[in-house]
A and B are shown apart, each in its own frame.
Chain A
Amino acid sequence: MSDLEKKLRPIYDALEVGNYREGILLCTKALKRQPDLHAVKALKALALERSGKMNEALALCEEIQWAKPTDEATLRTLSMVLKSAGKYEPMIKLYENASKAHPKNENLATQWFMSLARTRDFKGQQMAALQLHKNFKRTNYMFWAIMSITLQGQNVPANQPNVLYQLAERMMDKLNTEGKVQTIEELQLYLIILLGQKNRHVDALALLEGEIGVKTKAIENVELRHMRIELLIKAGRWKDARDAAISILKDSNSDDWRTILQYFDTIFLPVQDADLLASENLAEARTFTTELAKNETKNPKRGPFLAQIELEKRAQEKIGNNQEKVMDLLVSYFDIFGSKTCCFEDLSGYIADLTKDGSLDFCKRLRDTHGEKAETVKQICIQINIARFEHFVGLHTELSSTETTNLVNKLWKLYEDALPFGKDLEETERQYGDDYAIMAAHLLISLHKQTKSYFPLLTAVFMMEHALNASKHNYQLKLVLIRVYELLGAFSCAAAIYNTMGIKHVQHDTMSHFITDRAVSFGQFNDALNQLYGAHEIYHSNEAETPEMILQAYKYSTFSKMQEFIEFQSRLENSLQKMIADRELIRLELLKEDSVSRAITYLKELELGNLKYDDKFCESRIDNRDTSVMLNWNAKDTPSVEMLTRPAAQLGRVWMTLFTLVPCLLKHMAHLSPVDAEYERLVDTLESLAQDEAKTAELTGEEVKLAKIILQVARAYKVLFAAITAQNSNSASKEEPSATAAKIKELLTVAGSTLKREPVKSTGVLPWQSLNTLTLSVETVSYLNVTNHCLLELVATKANKKATFKAVNTVVQEFMGQCRQALQSVQADITALRNIAKPDRIRSGLLYEISDGSLIDFIRSPNNQALIEEKTLKIGASWMNSLVNLQQESISRVV
C-alpha cells in the first residue's frame, strides 16, 4: 500500500458506510498536514456534497480545478461531485489536460471522450476519439469518431450538401476496405450515414446485401430485414421485395403488420390505379391473403384477416364497386375476433371509412347475428364490442336526455349482469363488464355538456367508484374519475385517485398533466405544489441518468441507439409539460408568499434565464403528454372523452407565455428597474396576447382578465417611470404632475373595472369553474399588491421631489381600495359557499337533490345510498379544503 493509499483508506471507509461527518473530519485533519493533497480535498468535497452542503462542496471543487490535477482518483471523485450538481463542463478541460499530461493513459483519454459525450459536444468528441485512435490504435475509437461526425451532420438541412456525412462515409469506406467493419452495429452506423444522404438507397441496399450484410447475418435482424424490404421497394425491385415479405409472413410471423403493409406496397405501387383491376397483382394479393388466412386455424392471428380487409378497402378506394366485399370481410372478421377487446380498435378505422348507412348496416348485421345474448364471458365480450361500435357510429348521440338516461340505465344493468361471471377473477384483473360502466360515464359526461347540470357528473362519480370496488386496479376507471372529480372542483378526490396509480419516472412527464393542469385553480396550493414537485423529479433524473446511458451505448458500441437516446434526452429536456410545470410552480411559490415584501424578495431572486418566452423557444417545446391513453369510442373527428372532460382549454404555448410574462413584468417592477427595451417587449407581447382572439381562446376568461389587468398596471409603471425621470432631469418633455396622475388613473380604472366580477353563484355544487374564478381573483390581487407597492416605491425612492407626485399616490391608494374590495367579495362568496360544503348541509341539501326524482336506477337503488353519501361527503370535504384555504389566502392579502 502506498503512502497516499494509507491516508485515503480510512476516509474511503468512512464514506462507504455513509459516515460523512467522520469523513469530513478525517479530510480536514489530513489537509492540515498537507494542504495540497487534491485527492483528499476531492473526497472532502464528496463528503460535503453527500451531507447536503453543496455550496461548500462546489467551492472546494473550484479550488481543485484551479490546481489542474491529473491523477485518476482525484478526477473521478471530482467528477462525481460535479455531476450531482449537474455541472459537466469543468471535467472536460480537466480530463483533456490530464490525458495530455499522461498520453499513455488510455483511461484518462477515454474519460476525456466521455466527458464530452455527456455534454453532447460532438465536435469535441470527434477530436478526442481521433486522439484515442492515434494513441491506442483500437478500431473501436475510429467508430466513435465516425459516430461523432455523424451526429454533427444530422442537423444539416436535407437540401444542403452534407460534408460531414461525406467525411463519415469516406472514413467508413476506408475501414470497410480494410475489412474492419465487422459487427451489425458497425454496419448500422454505415447505413445511417448512407441513408442520411440524398438518394443513396441503392448503395445502402448493396451494403446490406453485400459481404458485410452476409457476414453479420443482417437479414436475420428484425430492423435490418425490414429496412431491406423498404429499400427494395424504393429501388423498384418489386419481386425481390415481395418475395422477402412473403417469406416473413409465411414462415415466421403472419401477424407482422408492417410487413403486410410492405407487401401491399409491392402490389399497388407498380400499377397505375386504372390498370389495377386487370392486373395480376390484385389477383395475386387476393390469393395470397386468402391463403394466409386459411393457414390460421388454431388460435388464429389477426394479421391475415385484417390484411384481407385492408386489401379490399384499398381496391375500393382505387377502383370502387367493392363495398360489399369490404362489408362481408368486416362482418366475418367480427365473427372470428368479436370477443377480443382489440376488435373495436382493429376495425374502427375501416368502419369510419364506410358511409353512414354502411356503418349502421354493419352494426345491424352484428345485432342480427348476436342479438343480446350474454350467457357466457365470451358473449359478454361480444356484446360490449357491439355496444362500442354502436356508440362509434353515432347510435348514442343526439339522444334526448330521457333517452340518454334510459341508455345509461341499460348499460349499468348490463354491467351488473356481467359481475357474477367475474367473481373468481384475481384482484388485479378487470371485471368483464367494466367498459359498460365506462360507457355509461361517457354518456353522462355528454349529458352534462348538453344540459350544464352537474348531477350527471355526480352520477358518473358514484358509478365509477362503485365499479372500482370490483376492479381495484382498472386505470381506465381511475382516469375517468380523476377528470370528473376535477370538473366537480374536488381536487382532493382527484389527487387521492391519481396517487393510487403508481405513476413514476418517465410517466411523470406523460401523465402528470392529468393532475397538475391548472392545479392552482383549486385553491389547494400546498397539495398542488407537492404534485408538481413530485412530477418534476423526472427532469432531474433525465439530467443525471440519460448522459450516462449515452456513454453506455458508446461503451458497447451500440451505434444504432445513439440518436434515439439523444432524442429521448432532448424530448424530456425540452418537454412542454416541464415548461408548464415550471410556470405553475412559480405561480404557486409566489402565491405562497402572502406578504408583499416576501413576494418581492421571491421575485427579485427569480432567475430570468429560465423565463424564456420568445417564439423560437415556445415552438421548440415538445409535447409528450399522453392524451390518447383514455378510452374513447366517440365517432372519428368528434371530440374525444379526454377533450370533453378537460375543465378548460388544454394548456399550451399561449398559457406558457402568459405565465412567463407576468412574473417577468413583476420582477422588473420589483427591482424598480428602468423601462428599457426588454420591458417594452414584455408589454408588447402581453398586449398582443391579450388582444388576439385566437390566442385567448387557449385561456380561461379569468386568465384573459388577468392578462388585461397586468397589462394596464405595466403601462402605468411605464408612465410613472417616464414622468419621474423627466421631472428629475427637469427635461423639456416633463409633464404636469396632474396629467401623469390622470393617465395612471385612467389605466388603473380599466384594471379596476376588469377586476370587478359577478358573485359566484351557489348552485349546490362547487365546480372547477367557480373555484377558478375565486382563485384567479386572489392571484390577481396578490400580483396587484406587488405592483401597487412598486408604484408607490417608485415615487418614494426615485423621485427627487416626492411631493410632486402626491396625486399619483392618491390614485394608487384608491386602486388599492378596489383591490381590497375584490378580496372582500371573494370572502363574501366563500362565506356563502362554505354553507353548501358543510356535511350537514350536504346531507340535507345536495344529497337530497341527487336522489330526489332521479331517473337513474343506480341512484335510486337502496344498495348504493351508503356509497353515494360517502363520496358526496368526500367531495364536500374537498370543497371545504379549497374554500378554507382560499379564505385564509384572501384575508392575508388585504393591505
Chain B
Amino acid sequence: MRENNTSIKGDQRAQSALTEGVRWASDLTRARQAGPSLSHKDWSQAGFSTAAVHAGTMDDEATGAVGTPIYQTSTFLLGDEQYRSVEEGYARDRFIYTRYGNPNQWALQTKLAALEGAESALVFSSGMAAITATVMALLDKGAHIVASNELYGGTYNLFNQEMPTMGISVSYVDPRDYEAIEAAIRPETQMMYFEALTNPLLKLVDVRRLADIAERKQVRLVIDGTFLPPVCCRMIEQGADIVIHSASKYLNGHSDLIAGAIMGSRKLVDMVWPRLLAFGGSLDPHACFMFERGLKTLAIRMAAHERSALSLASYLEKHPLVKRVYYPLLSTHPDHDLAQRVLRNGGGMIAFEISGGDTAALELLKHLKIPKQATSLGGVESLVSLPYNTSHAGYTSKQRLDMGINPGCVRLSVGIEDPEDLIADFDQALKAL
C-alpha cells in the first residue's frame, strides 16, 4: 500500500490514511501533523533571529549551494504516489503543480510557521488574496462577521462590497469595545475579524480578550497582524485561530514584492488551501525566494524599526506643531499598559496629527527629504502618507472622523534609517511650515 520514502516527492512524514484491512472510518490511522515541510526540525526553542535565518531554508544537496534554490517551475514529474495523494485527498503534502505547492513556498511557509509558533502556514500572491481565501474558507452561506470598524480600506471594500453578494453580512464594531463586540455576535456569526494594531491610529487590540469571547461564542477569531509581525507579538499564542499578514509589509520588509501569508493550526490552514487553489492567488517561486531572503532579517529589522520609531515619536510628541502622536510604546498612548504586557517590540508605525489640517500635512510631506511619499509600510525605507487620500480614501470624511482620523493625520512607517537623521529631517520640514 505504501511506497518507500525515496519515491515520495513532498513531505516524507505525510502518508496515506489507507492500510490493508480498512473497512470503516474508525480504522483510518492518519493524524494531522505540522507542515507540510521538507524539514521537520523543531525551532520552538530557538530565538527569532535563529529561526528567521534557518527554519525551512534548504541547502542544495546536489551542489552544496547554501540557501534554498529557486525552483522556478510550474509543474512536477508525476508518479503513482502523487496520483494517490490526489485520489485520497493529501495533495497538499506532495509536489504536483506550483499553484498547489512548490519547494520555495514550503521553505517560506515553514519559516513563517516557526516564527509564529504555528503548525502550518500558506503564502499568497497578496495580502488581499490571503484575506479573501481565509474568509471564504471559514464562512458558510448566510454567515455573519463581527469586524473592527477601523479596518484597512481594502479589507473594508471586500467586506462591504463583495461579501453581501455572497450572502455574508458584516457588523462593524469599535475594536476596543469588548462588550459591544460580544453583543454584536448573532446566532449565524461565524467569525470575528480584527486588526492587531489598527490603521492608522494604532489602537492596540487585546487579542486574548477577543479570543475569550470567540471561544465562549463558538466562533473563529481571525487577526490581521500586518502591523505587528511575530517578533512583536505571536497572535496564535494570544488565542487567534488564524493570523493573516500582508507580507508586502514587515515580513518581506524591502518594499520590493507583493505577497500575503496566513499562519494557524494545520486543520484550519488545510481548510484555506483549497480556496487558494480555487481563487488562484498563489505566490511565484521567485517571489518566494525574495520573500524568504527578506524574512531572514525580520528580527534585526524590527529592532531597528522600533529604535528609530520610538526616538522619532518622542521627538514629535514635544513639537509645538504636532497636536497628538500615536505610538504604542509612548506612555501617552491609550493602550500603553496593554502594549507593555503583550508586545516584545513596538514596531515602526507612527501616526500623528499636525496643526493646520490636511493642507499642512500635505505641505509637510513636500518638505520631508528622507521619508518617501508613498502608501504601504514596513519597508527598510521610511514611507509617509495621509490616510484621507490613501488607505482610508474608501471611507467618507464623517466615517474617518468617527474613527478618530482627524484632518492633519499623518501615517508614518518608520524605516531602519538612523533616528538622528530622521529627527533632523522632520525638524527642517516642520520649520518650513
On whether the two chains bind one another, the answer is no
